[in-house]
Amino acid sequence: MSEQTSTSWQPSASDFAPKPKHQTADAITRPAMSYWQDAWRRLKENKRALFSLYLIIGLVTFTLAGPYLWTIDPSAQDLDQIGMAPGADRNVTIAPAYQPWYGPTDDQTYANDNALGLTLVGNATSQAVRLAWRGNDYDQADYGYKIYRTLFPLDAGDAFGLPLMESKNHYFEDRLDLQPTDYYYTVVALDSQGVETDQFATLKLTVKRVITVLEAQQRGLTKNGPVAEGEQIKLALHPFGTDYLGRDMLARLIYGGQVSLFIGIFAPLLYVLLGVIYGSIAGFMGGAVDQLMMRFADFAVALPFLLFMILLKVIFGIGPGESGVLPMLVAMVILLWPAPARLVRGQILQIREEGYVSASQLLGAKTNYLVFRHMIPNTMGVILVTITFQVPSAIFTEAFLSFIGMGVAPPTPSWGSMCNDGIKSMLTRPHELFFPALFISITVLAFNLLGDGLRDALDARMRNRE
Amino acid sequence: MRSKSTSNSNTHSNSLSRQLGLYFVLAIVFVAGLLLALNQLAGLMGTATQEAQAVDFANNSISAVLREEPPQLDSSKATDSTSGLVLGHIMEGLLRMDLQDRLSPAIAERWEVTPTHATFWLRKDAKWSDGKPISAADFIFAWQLALKPETGSEYASLLYPIENAEAINTGKLPASALGVSAPDPHTLVVKLTRPIAFFDKLVVFPTFLPIREDFYNATQGRFGSDAKDLLYSGPYTIKSWVHGASMLLERNPHYWDSNRGKLAQINFAYITSDATATLNFFKDERIALARLQAENLTEALRLKWPIRRFADGTVFYLEFNHREDHLSRNLNFRKAIQHALDMEELVYKVTKLPGYLPGKSLFPEWLIGVEKTLREEYPASTVTVDSAKARAYLALAKEELGLAEFPEITLLTSDNPVSNIQSEWLQEVLKQTLGLTIKIDKQIFKQRLAKMSSGEFGLLLGGWGPDYNDPLTFGDLFASWNLNNRGRYKSEQMDALVATAQNATATPDRMKAFGAIQQQLFDDVVILPMYERGVTYVVHPQLKGVKRRVIGAETDYTYAYIDPDA
């Protein structure tokens, strides 16, 4: 203020001193982000893709760490629990060893409340159900009997169920697939022509599941000390049930996942890599080389996959009963590369014409620099997305090949071969098909959703939008 | 800033779950709609399948299913069971099995078998489907045809008991040298090379059916390949044969026996071996008879269908390879496996198919001995399963073979659900009990046959169905000269026993020989009997009189009739 009042301005030395250097303008920037950071940020915002990613990590952990946590042998057969649904009753009573039975003793007493005096001898156990009967009316000659069994209550006039035996004896022992449930046994007297008469008796029984001490030891159920007859113990736990040979479904799913995910992840990695190399060479070289290489790719597309799979099995000397996983991998690699190769070639052709590539060339960039600095980073998104979309298709291919018996050899499971086994008993024991099918579906869905998310996240044109 | 982002993601996930839920409901509605629409569409398109009706009383006809297409119906060449089934309806030979499975007269009114000759007196009213009488010459022609080397009949060896038959079959003599003559058109005299007690049972087999020479020549090599290339002697004729799809049988008006062929038509409306499809046809009342599998038993019980069973006579067994350089040549090795496998467990718990019996012997239970069944007269020896003993035998075998480690063993099996389960069971039991590694080699029938013949197996799931109703059909299987002895088991003692069984005429002597064969098979563990197969099936309640047979037509409708009141 005081200076203004002065009439004249006197320059001083301080006016000629340089301005301090540190003064900066307010910069309007945001933290610098690399391509990958940005992609990751956008992937994280896509809840669906993120969830799929966690799901995939979970599945991989399940199959890799599973064998250490769930140590049951996937090919061990628990014949006491064949085709058990998850959560089925596991109680079992220890019983004496099975002894052959040659009919009732002479002092057997027979029930009087049915036409034939049909009586249960001993206990009805899963070892055997023993029936004896007095026979039909004494004035009639004895021409034999037919024994039936069913699981459903009988009303008058109903068919008696499953015929088990036709016999001239007055006793019968049933050992066929006895489950701990209610059974209705019917014995019908026959006439001289072997035709059923109206003389019959029905008996309702509840079968109790038993095993012998020896069996309990063999099945490893005696860990909590020795067991005695009459004692009740629990059979081995199978959280996901068992299959048609009593094998643990959970263990089979874990081991089956190893095969399925191995093929599902490695095969696409390998053939997409091959495709990328091939496609980028073709695209970069262009001209006649490109023409020639792409016509060869067209030729490879036309080769039938299944035929090659069989040929490779022969070439590899893989005999019957040996695993066909390796030829499957090789067949996939040598036949499925053209699709990613075409994709990458298209991208490269496009990028080659971009202005920044020309500029780079003008500034004297070498081929190597062009490829590694410009071409590959710009096609990376396409490549990654291709891989994630190829994974489900590879898993399906493995499932299909194992389904038709070209894949894994028994007893090695894979999800596909488990489906193949399970489909036969789809109506009676749905869990045998349901679980492997569920795992295939979840894996395929997860990879598809992840691929979807990656496609959005890696799209360079979407970068920095929002 | 922080709170904003959470609320943002909350609304995001809310809308996401709503969106997903909507998609889920839409997907279910769409699939349900698609199913309904496709069902409607199939109903509109499938006019052909509408025609099949399980039981049609008005037209006195029934529909049924054939498991596969017969390759051809030339009786001199037929080998498979489907051909046997159809031939059982359209052809009749000298003798046949009646409803009680007894030998009964057919075209031959009476017959006589002596140690040197068999004589058949033919009935005069037996006619071909074109009305011409059936004569002894038709049989002679058919038998000569089957024996000619150029015919290549696989069952020609069944004719070998006839004089010169073997020489004709091997090309050493002309067909006319066959020791069969016809003194008059209605008498057939057969000269036998050796005494054969059951020659009359043998002539029931399709290879012995008659073929008329002039008709055969008129077909110019197409005999048996189509409906018009066949001449029928049985209760039915083929009205139409749509290859691979269906076959319609119609009553033969020239057939002599009014007790057979009560149904006017038998419509084999479908040719399929798919168990589920067959069951669905039955459920929809398209066919009158369907076989049941273990998987659909509960369903059949729930629907309270009348279920029946019969043993189809086939015995299944584990064969060992007895050739040089095979582990299973070692007796202790075979004994180890014998003591490790519990066939009762296999039948009752693993395959759990009703009607199956645990195998105890090569000779099935139904074979008749002298008076009672063979198995009642000569009970089969059995072992108790004992894993400790099994391991002891295996250790012995290891020592004898001088092996440090047992190599992998290939198990040859056929590719069907039942064999798959069995082979996986076997694989696991042998691994658990004996520590042996088994490789499963699944092959389709023809390929399996080739591998069986060339001996490319360590173990083999084999089976044998009877060709004629005599224990010899099983008894000679493991003679060193029998080509069906796939493991090439060779023992002089066995050969001597089989020779006795073949040549003795007195039934007790023969049965004693069969008893000794059974014992020898057990002692030497030539094979391990696994099970006798049974068949469980459902029949339409109105269809009566269907006969299931062990030998000949597996399902015989020739006595069947419809009872509309049932």
pLDDT averaged over chain B? 86
Pair B79, B22 in one domain: no
Q: Mind listing the pLDDT tens digit for each residue in A356-405? A: 888 988 888 888 888 777 887 788 878 888 888 888 888 888 878 877 76
Cβ atoms A63, A257 nearer than 8 A: yes
Q: Is B304 on the interface with A (CB under 8 A)?
A: yes
pLDDT of residue B7: 46
Report percent pLDDT > 70 for chain A.
92
Q: Which residues of B touch A50 (CB under 8 A)?
A: none
pLDDT averaged over chain A? 82
Q: Which of B282, B424, B442, B539 to mutate to test the interface with A (most CBs of A within 10 A)?
A: B424
Closest-approach residue (CA) in chain A for B311? A165
Report percent pLDDT > 90 for chain A.
9
pLDDT of residue B317: 93
Pair B204, B229 in one domain: yes
Nearest chain A CA: its distance from B51 CA (Å) = 28
Q: Mind listing the pLDDT tens digit for each residue in A232-252? A: 888 888 888 888 888 889 999
Local confidence band at B108 (pLDDT 50, 70, 90 cut-offs)? very high
Asked whether residue B485 carries a pLDDT value surpassing 50, the answer given is: yes
Cis peptide bond prior to B115, omega within 30° of 0: no
Question: Mean pLDDT over residues B406-410, rounded?
Answer: 89
Name the B residues in 209-248 with CB < 8 Å from any A CB.
Answer: none
> Is residue B305 a part of any domain in this protein?
no
Question: Mean pLDDT over residues B358-375, rounded?
Answer: 86
Pair B336, B269 in one domain: no
Nearest chain A CA: its distance from B227 CA (Å) = 36
Pair B150, B197 in one domain: yes
Closest-approach residue (CA) in chain B for A408? B440
> Is residue B298 a part of any domain in this protein?
no
> Is residue B418 a part of any domain in this protein?
yes
Q: Scanning the structure block, which residue is given the tokens 């990654």?
A: A384
Local confidence band at B32 (pLDDT 50, 70, 90 cut-offs)? very high
Q: Terminal CA-to-CA distance of chain B, rounded, Å? A: 82
Q: Which of B10, B301, B456 to mutate to test the interface with A (most CBs of A within 10 A)?
A: B301
Identify the burial level of B209 via C-beta atoms within 10 angstroms of its C-beta, where 0-12 means exposed, 13-18 middle and 19 or more buried: buried
Local confidence band at B6 (pLDDT 50, 70, 90 cut-offs)? very low
Owning domain of residue B355: 311-534
Local confidence band at A78 (pLDDT 50, 70, 90 cut-offs)? confident
Nearest chain B CA: its distance from A185 CA (Å) = 13
Q: Which residues of A touch B354 (CB under 8 A)?
A: 162-164, 176
Contact B301 A161 (CB under 8 A): yes
Question: Mean pLDDT over residues B464-470, rounded?
Answer: 84
Closest-approach residue (CA) in chain B for A149? B301
pLDDT of residue A463: 55
Question: Mean pLDDT over residues A217-243, rounded?
Answer: 80
d(CA B130, CA B140): 20
Q: Is A158 on the interface with B (CB under 8 A)?
A: yes
> Is residue B417 a part of any domain in this protein?
yes
Pair B122, B14 in one domain: no
Q: Mind listing the pLDDT tens digit for each residue in B275-310? A: 778 888 888 888 999 888 877 788 888 888 888 888
pLDDT of residue A156: 79
Contact B424 A76 (CB under 8 A): no
Contact B423 A47 (CB under 8 A): no
d(CA B283, CA A237): 38
> Is residue B270 a part of any domain in this protein?
yes
**Any bridge partners for residue B97, and if so which?**
B103
- E strand residue ranges, B264-383: 265-271, 289-291, 307-320, 357-358
Pair B155, B235 in one domain: yes
Q: What is the dihedral of CA B219, B223, B225, B226, to 10 degrees?
A: 60
Q: Mind listing the pLDDT tens digit for each residue in B522-564? A: 999 999 999 998 888 998 888 888 888 887 788 899 999 998 8
Asked whether residue B219 carries a pLDDT value surpassing 80, the answer given is: yes
Pair B70, B107 in one domain: yes
At B469, is the secondary structure helix, strand, or coil?
A: coil
Local confidence band at A281 (pLDDT 50, 70, 90 cut-offs)? confident
Asked whether residue A354 carries a pLDDT value surpassing 80, the answer given is: yes
Pair B115, B45 in one domain: no
Its CATH class, for the domain covering A53-71+246-465, is mainly alpha
**Domain extents for chain A?**
53-71+246-465, 93-211
pLDDT of residue B497: 92
Q: Which residues of A touch B443 (CB under 8 A)?
A: 320
Asked whether residue B49 carries a pLDDT value surpassing 60, the answer given is: no
Pair B260, B409 in one domain: no
In CATH, what number is assigned to the domain containing residue B238?
A: 3.90.76.10
Q: Scanning the structure block, which residue is given the tokens 């023809």?
A: B446
Q: Which residues of A touch B305 (CB under 8 A)?
A: 159
- Per CATH, domain A93-211 is 2.60.40.10: yes
> Is residue B306 a part of any domain in this protein?
no
Which residue in A97, A100, A96, A131 sits closest to A117, CA to CA? A131
Closest-approach residue (CA) in chain A for B274? A424
Nearest chain A CA: its distance from B429 CA (Å) = 8
d(CA A247, CA A357): 60
d(CA A340, CA A279): 8
Asked whether residue A204 carries a pLDDT value surpassing 60, the answer given is: yes
Contact A82 B415 (CB under 8 A): no
Q: Is A77 on the interface with B (CB under 8 A)?
A: yes
Q: What is the ipTM of this complex?
A: 0.75
Contact B354 A176 (CB under 8 A): yes
Nearest chain B CA: its distance from A161 CA (Å) = 6
Cβ atoms A343, A382 nearer than 8 A: yes
| Candidate from B295, B304, B443 with C-beta closest to A158 | B304
Asked whether residue B51 carries a pLDDT value surpassing 70, the answer given is: no
| Candidate from A151, A244, A320 with C-beta closest to B442 | A320
Cβ atoms A339, A330 nearer than 8 A: no
pLDDT of residue A265: 87
Closest-approach residue (CA) in chain B for A425? B295
d(CA A187, CA A145): 6
Question: Mean pLDDT over residues B37-52, rounded?
Answer: 69
Q: Mind listing the pLDDT tens digit for each residue in A89-126? A: 888 888 888 888 888 887 878 877 777 888 888 888 88
| Candidate from A48, A76, A428 with C-beta closest to B295 | A428
Q: Mind listing the pLDDT tens digit for each residue in A34-60? A: 777 878 888 888 888 889 999 999 999
pLDDT of residue B522: 92
Asked whether residue B1 carries a pLDDT value surpassing 50, the answer given is: no
> Is residue B58 a part of any domain in this protein?
no
| Candidate from A82, A151, A164 with C-beta closest to B298 | A151
Q: Which of B348, B422, B536 to mutate to test the interface with A (most CBs of A within 10 A)?
A: B348
Helices (H), A321-430: 325-336, 338-352, 355-362, 367-369, 376-403, 415-422
In CATH, what number is assigned to the domain containing residue B363?
A: 3.10.105.10
- The domain total for chain B is 3
Pair B204, B336 in one domain: no
Distances (CA, A) of A243 to A175, B421, B425, B428: 21, 11, 12, 14
Asked whether residue B565 carries a pLDDT value surpassing 50, the answer given is: yes
Pair B454, B506 in one domain: yes
| Candidate from A162, A320, A411 with C-beta closest to B441 | A320
Local confidence band at A462 (pLDDT 50, 70, 90 cut-offs)? low
| Candidate from B300, B305, B350 with C-beta closest to A79 | B350
Q: Is B536 on the interface with A (CB under 8 A)?
A: yes
Cβ atoms B212, B182 nearer than 8 A: no
Q: Mind listing the pLDDT tens digit for each residue in B74-90? A: 888 887 778 889 999 99
Nearest chain B CA: its distance from A284 CA (Å) = 42
State the pTM of this model.
Answer: 0.77
Give the number of other CB atoms < 10 A from CB of residue B400.
12
Which 3-state string (H, E, C) describes A405-464?
A: CCCCCCCCCCHHHHHHHHHHHCCCCCHHHHHHHHHHHHHHHHHHHHHHHHHHHHCHHHCC
pLDDT of residue B4: 43
Q: Which residues of A touch B302 (CB under 8 A)?
A: 151-152
Question: Mean pLDDT over residues B41-54, rounded?
Answer: 66
Point out the least confidently predicted range of A423-432, B59-68, B302-311, B374-383. Answer: A423-432
Pair B98, B129 in one domain: yes
pLDDT of residue B294: 76
Q: Scanning the structure block, which residue is given the tokens 């030829």?
A: A327
Asked whether residue B350 carries a pLDDT value surpassing 60, the answer given is: yes
pLDDT of residue A372: 78
Q: Mind listing the pLDDT tens digit for each residue in A134-184? A: 876 554 567 888 899 998 888 877 888 888 888 888 888 888 888 888 999
Size of interface A-B (CB pairs under 8 A): 102
Name the B residues in 405-444 with CB < 8 Å from any A CB.
Answer: 410-411, 415, 417, 420-421, 423-425, 427-429, 431-432, 439-443
pLDDT of residue B225: 87
> Is residue B295 a part of any domain in this protein?
no
pLDDT of residue A30: 66
